[in-house]
Amino acid sequence: MKKIILSLITLLSLVTVNAQEDKKEMTVKYRRSSLYTMMVEDASIPHADVIKSAFEKGPIPEKFNDHIIGSRMIPTDNQEDQTQNINTYMETNGVAKQLVAKWFNRSAKGGFDMGLIQSRGSYDASVSDIATAKSSKRGVQMLADAGEELIKNTFVLVNVYKYVSKEEVAKKASGLLKSVGSFASIVPGGSSVSNTATLASEGVTIAGKGYVVKTTAHLYRLEWNDEVAATFYNDYWADDKTITNEKKKAFDDSNLFKLVYVGSDVSWADVQSTVFTKKTDDELIERATIKAVDAVIIELQKNHDEFKTKTPLFTGEPITAKIGVKEGVNAKSKFDVLEQQIDENGKTSYVVVGSVKVDEDFPIWDNRYGAEEENPDSKTDRTFFKKVSGKEFYPGMLIVQKKGK
């Protein structure tokens, strides 16, 4: 009976369906990772202003919570490798501490509250209150749960761009574009491109309309563990009613908070101009900039499981999800199906209850930036899957790509 009750609670807390005139919209509550995206700003590269503008207006991927805290630009130090420059910027500007301050809604007075954690984690307000929580063991554990699952899954992604016009590729290649090796040497990162020779030949025929974009992305994760949390709650925490100058200064002067380097990956994005013959160079560069961010996130998620995102099932029969090419889905992709469960203490966990693979009888949803213009006749708005294992699946269950897939 207890298992049945817990399952009902899970289902009710996970999925809310609101009927509208001729369609249903599903709202799924689950705990996303949080992301702050930045780029290294280099005024010396071609079209620098266009690149900066496109990046700043590009949205945070919808599978992440938006955790932008301020400026998204890191000035370049004109070195080929920007790693040390990025690290120095993070430390000098206290980025880790700013991320923590945002999590706890730090006010101008220096006080904190649990509003954002409550919102993103769906915690009960009475448990989220620090003063109340400290009076009971379970209250402290609930705060630890929130910290472990939410705050420590805060990431900073810093992009370094290199742009090459296809006209430049064609000129440098000097008739050797049909060689994969020569093309890879012309376009940094090109050796990872499938069907490189085809892309190269298109570079000649397009004659400069379009860009190949190399993106090197550096991924960092906010360090949040039991020791950091205990110090924060004991030494820095106070709301606006109880904040003191001493506690405010203690947080201001703290060097407790750190960003941990996760890894780097390189990817590229290509904007074909045959479809966009009326697009200006600025418009093509804008599209390439935004698509490059999506492409490198896919690469990082392949190599770093902690950065992988969860996606709710949109329907259970047939099995579909609002995920597609933008997230790296291909014909060979396989996913674990997760169910959110709550134990007798109210602690949330995600349990693997089955697996699915892409249903090749249906097209994979192309949800990349600008795809509606590239494929104006497409009616696909989701990707279909086949069950590999498990029992009944229902909307709101989560899928996560299998390790290394």
**Nearest to residue 217, comparing CAs of 264, 155, 161, 270?**
264
Residue 390 has pLDDT above 80, yes or no: yes
Quote the CA–CA distance of 338 and 348 in Å, as a whole number: 12
**Span 16-36, mean pLDDT?**
54
Quote the CA–CA distance of 375 and 133 in Å, as a whole number: 53
pLDDT-derived band at 177, boundaries 50, 70, 90: very low
Is-contact 172 56, C-beta < 8 A? Answer: no
If phi > 0 it is left, if psi is from -120 to 50 it is alpha, else beta; for residue 122 that is left
Give 204 or 188, the one with higher predicted confidence: 188
Quote the CA–CA distance of 54 and 62 in Å, as a whole number: 17
**Span 45-72, mean pLDDT?**
88
Across 91-100, 371-380, 391-400, the highest mean pLDDT is recorded for: 91-100
**Span 221-225, mean pLDDT?**
95
pLDDT for position 388: 96
Is-contact 267 204, C-beta < 8 A? Answer: no
pTM of the model: 0.75
Residue 134 has pLDDT above 90, yes or no: no
Least confident segment among 29-43, 55-69, 123-137: 123-137
Average of per-residue pLDDT values in the chain: 77
**Tell me: the pLDDT tens digits for 136-163?**
555 555 655 655 678 999 999 999 988 7
Contacting residues for 63 by C-beta, under 8 A, at least 6 apart: 32, 309, 310, 311, 327
**Tell me: the pLDDT tens digits for 241-270?**
999 999 999 999 999 999 999 999 988 766
